[in-house]
Structure 1
Amino acid sequence: MSDLSLNPSTSAAAWKSLRNSVWNSPAVRKILVLALLALTWELAARFNAKPILFPSFVETMTALWQAITTENLLQASWVSMSVLLKGYAIALALALVLVSLAVASRFVRELLQTLISMFNPLPAIALLPVAMLWFGLGEKSLLVVLVHAVLWPFALAALTGFDSVPETQRLVGRNYGLRGPSYVARILIPAALPSILYGLKIAWAFAWRTLIAAELVFGVSSSNGGLGWFIFRNRNELFTDKVFAGLAMVIIIGLAVEGIVFRIIESVTVRRWGMQR
């Protein structure tokens, strides 16, 4: 027969090529990892047989769906996300201003490096009592804590990235007469973008976990309970499956931001420019 589709060797090669293409897909590998973790979770919960302490994956997903449909879990998640985005944006703007000034002034550089050394190791949640004392119980206190969580790690990553820009690129910018903000925007930021994106990821992770921890302590922001408050309230009522559902929502949002938002940014910038594999 002349039909290649009936040739066993051709079919085997096509199947191998399809298998390799599927396996080499990062999305497929991530789905397999998540499925394996879910299976391990389910088996461990069934072996433990204590739902009040450790609900199964199926019970948690059921509670998550019920919380979304009947208890406004999505609204609580958006309350948390809206506060986080405000604090994240404020901190990024402050960090970029400080780092830009540090590039132009040795004094500001020493000042910024000293502040980073002082405050970067300080857990943001440790500032919560002071923030509550100064700004009361509400969004302002959350923003203070979030700005602290984001500002220092991102400033450190951005400053490191700026320092790693080759001198030849710096000279090109100066030869074109670029100074001040235009020099930073057109030369330093594009050249240091991998480090900046890394700093954005680290700052996002710090901000997200700090926000949830802060909401677990005093929870209410602008008269609306956030995701951390949802977890805290259900823990007090011993609804362990809903507690795990809230934790699952925290993980889902984290995976979505990391796997979608930052991946899109990377694909249209550093990956497209050949700066990162």
Structure 2
Amino acid sequence: MSAILEPPVRSEYERPPEPLRDVALERPLKGWERVWQHGWLRKGLLLAALALLWEAAARWQNNDLLLPTFLQTMRALWEGVASGELPGNVATSMGVLLQGYAAGVALAFVLTSLAISTRIGRDLLETLTSMFNPLPAIALLPLALLWFGLGRFSLIFVIVHSVLWPLALNTYAGFRGVPETLRMAGRNYGLGGLRLVLQILVPAALPAIVSGLKIGWAFAWRTLIAAELVFGATSGKGGLGWYIFQNRNELYTDKVFAGLALVILIGLLVENAVFRTIERVTVQRWGMQR
């Protein structure tokens, strides 16, 4: 009978850890380095650098009618705010913008919910986005004037058009990118239709939805300003766009630049105070975005 083969017994031993000689330990950050980690500080310095370039270019141009200095623009902006003229124009614009933006978001959600649930809804969304997404919203302004007249509803109509299609495309792309395992898990819990969309698809596709909301906001804001220029020229009414148009006709270039600067400041405020906050408390907190 052959001998039973057994593996050799390996003697146990303990290896002492080697000293850390070649490993570079991370040094603590200095005071100015810790401050530099804040994004608001870096962005503020970039804005200050742009303001200095603007001031230098305007002084070199030396023509206030073509390019006022940064200080002149800020003075005109302060005077417009102190007089109450600019806050009233901004309130008018923001009221119209929020109504059109909310209507566009609601319609985009309905279309994408139908597209992700039914085949005919998917065909409808793909057809409509192919037709209307390349169409500039301001090109519909003459039709809006014919259908709704000179007023708030015409502005809301063009804003809805500018928000609806990019948001619907981004949301639909996010829904299609949801893994099938999540859909199956939702169905196993008895979810279907609107409940599946709200409880499974929307949280999973939230990065794409937030991106679509940001794009829709930018499109709506610039469409509103452009439409108000036309409405102000025809009816004498309007918000911030009308303020810019009126001062351009009267050759108050510093006030024109003040209105444009306020458009930019509102865009920065919404981007950093609203959308950044939404991203921080949702997709970044959930580990879905860096």
For the aligned pair, the TM-score class normalised by the smaller chain equals over 0.9
Match of 2:141 among 120, 128, 135: 128
The alpha-carbon distance between structure 1 residues 45 and 160, as it changes in their structure 2 partners (threshold 3 A), is same
Q: CA shift at 1:17, angstroms?
A: 2.2
Alignment of 1:271 onto 2:284: yes
TM-score by length of structure 1 reads: 0.92
CA shift at 1:47, angstroms?
0.5
Q: Does residue 230 of the first structure (1) align with residue 233 of the second (2)?
A: no
Q: In 1, are the aligned partners of 2:182 and 2:200 still within 8 Å (CA)?
A: yes
Alpha-carbon distance in 1 for matches of 2:39, 2:70: 24
Within the candidate set 248, 265, 273, 1:252 is matched to 265
| Structure 1: gaps of 5 or more residues | 1-12
Identity over aligned residues, as a percent? 62
TM-superposed deviation, 1:203? 0.2
Shift of 1:78: 1.1
1:72 to 59, 81, 85: 85
Alpha-carbon deviations, 1:92-139, whole Å to 9, x = none? 001101100111111110110111111111110000011001111110
Structure 2 CA distance, aligned partners of 1:47 and 1:184?
58
| Equivalent residue number for residue 6 of structure 1 | none
1:262 aligns with 2:275: yes
1:201 aligns with 2:221: no
**What residue is the counterpart of 2:71 in the other structure?**
58
Of 230, 234, 240 in structure 1, the residue corresponding to residue 253 of structure 2 is 240
Which of the residues 127, 143, 150 maps onto 2:156? 143
1:167 aligns with 2:180: yes
Would you say 1:212 and 2:225 are equivalent positions? yes
Give deviations 1:195-240, integer Å, cap 9, x for gaps: 0000000000000000000001113899853000000000000000
Structure showing the higher helix proportion among its residues:
1
**Partners in 1 of 2:182 and 2:31 — Cα distance?**
43
Kindly tell me: are residues 105 and 159 of structure 1, through their superposed partners in 2, closer, same or farther at Cα, counting changes over 3 Å?
A: same
1:50-108 Cα shifts (integer Å, max 9, x gaps) = 00110010000000000111152011001101100000000100110110011111111
Q: Is the 8 A contact 2:231 2:238 kept in 1?
A: no
How far apart, CA to CA, are the structure 2 residues paired with 1:179 and 1:92? Answer: 22
Compared with structure 1, are the counterparts of its residues 222 and 85 closer, same or farther at alpha carbon in structure 2 (3 Å cutoff)? farther
**1:93 corresponds to 2:138:** no
TM-score between both structures, scaled by the size of structure 2: 0.88
Q: Which structure is larger by alpha-carbon Rg, 1 or 2?
A: 2
CA displacement, residues 163-201 of structure 1 (integer Å, 9 cap, x when unaligned): 000111111101000011111000000000000000000
Q: Residue 124 of structure 2 corresponds to which residue in structure 1?
A: 111
Question: Equivalent residue for 1:21?
Answer: 34
The answer as to whether partners of 1:135 and 1:141 remain within 8 angstroms in 2 is: yes
Q: Which amino acid aligns with 2:246?
A: R
Q: CA RMSD in A?
A: 1.8
Aligned letter for 1:134? W
Aligned-partner residue type, residue 123 of structure 2: E
| Counterpart-to-counterpart distance in 1, 2:232 and 2:280 | 36
Letter in 2 for 1:83: V
